[in-house]
Amino acid sequence: MKKLLLLTLSLLFTATIVTAQEFAMTDGSFVTCSGDFTDSGGLAGDYMNGENSTITFCSPFATDDMSVNFTLWNVGTGDILLAYDGDTATGSPIGVFNSAITPALVTATAANTSGCLTFRFISNATSTGPGWQATLACIDNCQTISNAVTTVPAPDNDGILRVCQNESISFSGTTTYSVDGTGATSEWVFSEDPMNPVAGTTATRSFMNPGIYRVDYITTDPTGCRDRVLEDVIIFVSTTPDFTGTLPADTSICFGESTTITGVAETVEFVADVAPPITGQTFLPDDNGTTFYETCVDVQGFAPGTTFQNASDLVSVFINMEHSYFGDLDITLTAPDGSAIKIITFGNGGGNTFLGIPIDIDTNLNPGTGFLYTITEGGSATQTMVQATAGVATLPSADYRPLDPFSNFIGTPLNGLWCLRVVDNLSSDNGYIFEWGLNFNPAIVPAAERYEPGEVTEVWAANADITATNGSDITVTPTTAGQNCYDFEFTDSFGCLYIETVCIDVAPEITSVEPADIIVCQTATAVTVDLTSKDDEIRNGLVAADYDVTYFNTDADAQADMNPILTPDVFSVTGSTTVWARVFDNVNGCFKTEQVDVTFQAVNFNNVPTIELCDDLSADGVETFNLTSQITGILGAQSPSEFNVAFFNSQADADSNMNAILTPGAYDNVSNPETIFVRVSNAQDEDCFETGQFDIEVLSAPAIGNVTNVSDCATNPITNELDLVLTDYDVQVLAGQSAAAYTVTYHNDEASAISGSSALSSPYASSDQQTIYARITDNATGCFDYSSFSVTVEVCEVVIPEGFSPNGDGVNDTFSMPNIEQFPNFELIIFNRNGSKIYETTASNYEEFAGIPNTGAMAGDGLLPVGTYFYVLKYNDAQTKDVASWVYINY
C-alpha cells in the first residue's frame, strides 16, 4: 500500500519519553522513569578514548526525584564520571567517580526543584574500559492519584481509538485519590495543541488531519501531585485512501454511448514525521565567506541511541530557495555527531546560474520565487546540482544527487540537530531559503508511530446509468447530456466512508429523425432523386451550421464515415432502395445515422359499388352517407397507414386536392343519385395519387296499402281480447304487389315497426282499442314503409238455437251456439228424454253437437232419432247464469 509522510506532528513533550530502554552515554536530555544507563559502548561494548559528553535524566512528573542505582562499574585510569544535582552540568557535582571511586545510588536532593540528575563523562586518550551499568527510577513523593477515562466512540480492543477525520470525540474522566482529592483540578492536554489545555472533567475534540494523537487527562492536587499516566488515550485518525486509478476510460462521450469506469482504492499508511521541516524565510545575505548561515531540524521520535545504519535511511533532503549566483555557494548538511555531506561546493562550478527566480538587484533585498530542489540518491536523480548548471540560466526544480554520499552519516545518532549550513563566498548576490527538511525512510520510523487502516468495502453507489458491473469496473450509459457523475465509495476498517466522484461529459443528444420515404410514384425504372431534400427533415430542427448531413450506401460506411455518396442531389436509382444519412455534430465530434428509404410505389384506385340508402319517412330523397365505409374497398391490398383517401364533389377538385368533403363519415347527398370523386395518395407524398369515383343513391320506400279497421266480438269475453289471424290482412297491405317480392310483418308499436323488430305472431290476441302497425319491406332493397289499423273488441250475446237438422244439406246441420267462444271454461251436457247423458263437450275440446251421441250406451251408434232432447250449458263464469233447456232434432 501507499505511504503517507505527515509533514508535522506535535509531540506531547519536548524531550523524548521512553520506558524500559537502554540509554547509552551521549549528549542529550531524556524524560523517563525506567531503563538502563550505560557507557557509550552499551551493555556489550567498551566506551572510547576522548569522550566528553553530558546526559540528563528527568521524570515526566514535576514532583518526582530521579534516582540512578549503579550495579556495574569499571573505568580506566584517568576517566571520570561527574554527577550533578539538577538538569545542567553546572555548579559543584554531587558525585565524582573514577577507577578508584565506585558510584552506588545517586538521588536528586530535596533542594533540587527540577528533580533531574545530570552526568558528564570524560575519558582520556590513553585508556578505556567496559564502563558501567545503572538502573533509572523515579521517586514518587505524592499520594496515589488514579484516573479512568472513557470516550465516545470507545477504543478498540487494543486500547487505540480509531476515528475518522473530523469525527467528534467525547472525553470523560473520573479520579480516585489515596488520601484526599479536595481542591484537585483536572485538564485535558492534546498532543497537537499542548499549550492550550482544556479544563474540566469532560472535553470534545475532532481531528482534521490523519495522524497519531495523544491525550493526557491530568488531575493535580493542591500540592502539585498528579496522576502518573501520561497517555490516557491514543488516537489514530483515518488516512484518506489513494484513489489513483479511479477514472473513466473516456472523459467525454457522445449521447447514447457507454464507457467503462475503473474503481481503484488503496489504503494509505500514516508514518509520523520524525523530522518536521523548517519553514519560513531565512535570508542569505551577500558575504565573502567569512560567516555562515545555519538552520537546524531537531529530529526526535527515534528510540534513544538509534543510529544511522544505511545510506537508504535518508531518502532525501529538500530545499526551497532562491539565489542569484550559484557559483559562490557552499551548502553542507551536518548530522548530530558532526558528520557532514556537501551539496554545493564553492569553486566547483555553476557560475551565475540562478537558483529559483531571485531579484537580481543588489539594492533590492526582497525575496524572489523559490524553487524546490531535492537532494537524493534515488534513481530519479542522475546528476548533481553543479553538473546540471551547465548551459542553463536557471537551475530547474528537480531531483539532484549530493556531492558526498549519504553513507557518510552511518553511525551518527538519528535523534538530534541536523543542520543545513550555507556560506556565500563572493559579494554582490543574495538569496532566501523558504523551507527545508529531511525525509527519512518510513521503514525505520518506530512501529508505534505508524499505522494503516484496513480495507472493508469498495463499491459504486447505485445509479440508474450503470448497465454492467465487473468487480470494481462499471459500464455506464448516461441518459442525460452534460456532466454525469458517479460515486466510488470506500469504507475502511475505521468505519470511515470516502467517496471519489468520477465525472464524464456527455455531448448533447443528436435529435435527428428518420425522414419520410422519398417516393418515386411509378413502377421500377431508372430515375434520379435528390437525397439532400431530406437534410432539414433529418436534422429535425438542429442548426445546419453545427450539423452536417452526408449520405452513404450502407450503414457500415456511414458508421465509419467511408465511401460517401458523392452526388446526393442527383442520386440514381432503378427501384426501391435504402441509403443512410450520417448526422455529424461539428462541435462535439459525435454522429448519428438515420435510414432513408427511396420507395417506388404506384397508387391504385379499386372500384367499389354504389352505396344505397333507403329514403326515410320524410321521403325527401336525402340521406346521410358514410363515405369512409368505402376506404377498405378502394385501397384493396394497399395499407391505410401508407395511403390517404379523400372525397370530393368534382373531378377537378380531386385532381387539385382542393375542397375535400370535410365530413365524409356523415355526408348528406345533394342529388340523387350522386357521383363521389375519390383521390388516393401516398401518405408521404401527396403528389403521388390516383383518382376514381363511385355513386351514392337514395332508394324509395315500397308502396303500402291501408288495412280496414277491425271490429269484432271478443274471442275471450273474460279478457276482452280478440284473436286475429294477421296473415288475413296481407292482401290489403300488399295492395296488389307480389307477395314474393315483399315481406309483411305486424307490430304493436311504431318504434318496432320502424326498426323491424319484435314482429307479432299469428294469431295475435288483440285488446280493445289497440293499434296494430303493418310493415312492408322490399326484399331486394331492404327499404320499408308502414301503416296502421285499429282493433275494436266487443262482448257479444251467446245465441242458443231451439232445434237443428243434421241431414247433411249444409244448412243448420249442428247445434251451433254463436259467441260461445267468449267463455273459455264453458261445459255442454245433453240428455235424452230418459235422462241418460248422450253428449258432452267443453271449451277446451269443443265440437258442435251434430246429432251423434259421444257418451253413454248409444255412443257412436249414428244419428239420434227425431225428438226433443234436454241440455245444460254451464258458463263457469261468476257473472253469467248457467242455462238448462231443450233442443229439437228433426231431419
Let me know: does 57 contact 32? Beta carbons within 8 Å.
Answer: yes
Question: Which pLDDT score, from 0 to 100, does residue 449 have?
Answer: 85
Question: Which pLDDT score, from 0 to 100, does residue 7 have?
Answer: 30
Q: Burial-class residue 584 by CB neighbours within 10 Å (0-12, 13-18, 19+).
A: middle
Question: Which pLDDT score, from 0 to 100, does residue 717 have?
Answer: 64
Q: Which residue has the cell 465516545?
A: 152
What pairing do the DSSP bridges indicate for beta strands 233-237 and 202-205?
unpaired
Query: For residue 605, what are the contacts with CB-CB under 8 A and spacing of at least 6?
Result: 634, 678, 680, 690, 691, 692
CA distance 492 to 116: 45
CA distance 691 to 656: 11
Task: Tell me the CA distances in angstroms from 776 to 333, 632, 724, 761, one per residue in order.
Answer: 131, 33, 18, 16
* Cα dihedral 376, 381, 383, 386 sign: negative
Query: For residue 33, what are the contacts with CB-CB under 8 A and spacing of at least 6?
Result: 19, 59, 60, 61, 64, 136, 137, 138
Residue ranges of alpha helices (H) inside 486-621 are 535-539, 555-560
Give the DSSP letter string of 828-874: EEEE-TT--EEEEEEGGG---B-S---SSTTTTS-PPPSEEEEEEEE
* CA-wise closest residue to 83 among 64, 61, 68: 68
Grid coordinates belonging to 329: 555557494
Other C-beta atoms lying within 10 Å of the C-beta of residue 314: 26
Other C-beta atoms lying within 10 Å of the C-beta of residue 687: 9
CA distance 443 to 451: 12
Question: Which pLDDT score, from 0 to 100, does residue 186 have?
Answer: 97
DSSP code, position 880:
S
Q: Burial-class residue 639 by CB neighbours within 10 Å (0-12, 13-18, 19+).
A: exposed
* Cα dihedral 751, 756, 758, 764 sign: positive
**Could you read off the pLDDT of 692-703 as tens digits, one per residue?**
999 999 999 999
* CA-wise closest residue to 134 among 80, 83, 69, 85: 69
Measured in degrees and rounded to the nearest 5, phi and psi for residue 443 equal -65, -20
Question: Which pLDDT score, from 0 to 100, does residue 718 have?
Answer: 63
Give the DSSP letter string of 249-275: S-SEE-TT--EEEE---B-EEEE--SS
Q: Which residue has the cell 529559483?
A: 356
The continuous run of DSSP H or E covering 730 comes out as helix 730-734
Let me know: does 401 contact 376? Beta carbons within 8 Å.
Answer: yes
Q: Give the angle 183-185-188 at the CA atoms, nearest 5°.
A: 175
Measured in degrees and rounded to the nearest 5, phi and psi for residue 307 equal -115, 165
CA distance 876 to 347: 161
CA distance 663 to 383: 96
* CA-wise closest residue to 351 among 384, 328, 321: 328
SS (H, E, C) 399-429: EEECCCCHHHHCCCECCEEEEEEEEECCCCC
Grid coordinates belonging to 413: 545518532
Q: How far apart are the first and last CA of the chain?
A: 145
**Could you read off the pLDDT of 8-50 as tens digits, one per residue?**
333 333 333 434 578 889 888 888 999 999 998 888 889 999 9
Q: Which residues of the chain have pLDDT under 50?
A: 1-19
User: What's the pTM value of the predicted model, to 2 decimals?
Assistant: 0.61
Q: Pick left, alpha or beta for residue 234 (phi over 0 → left; psi -120 to 50 → alpha; otherwise beta).
A: beta
What pairing do the DSSP bridges indicate for beta strands 803-804 and 883-889?
parallel
Question: Which pLDDT score, from 0 to 100, does residue 486 have?
Answer: 98
CA distance 120 to 84: 8
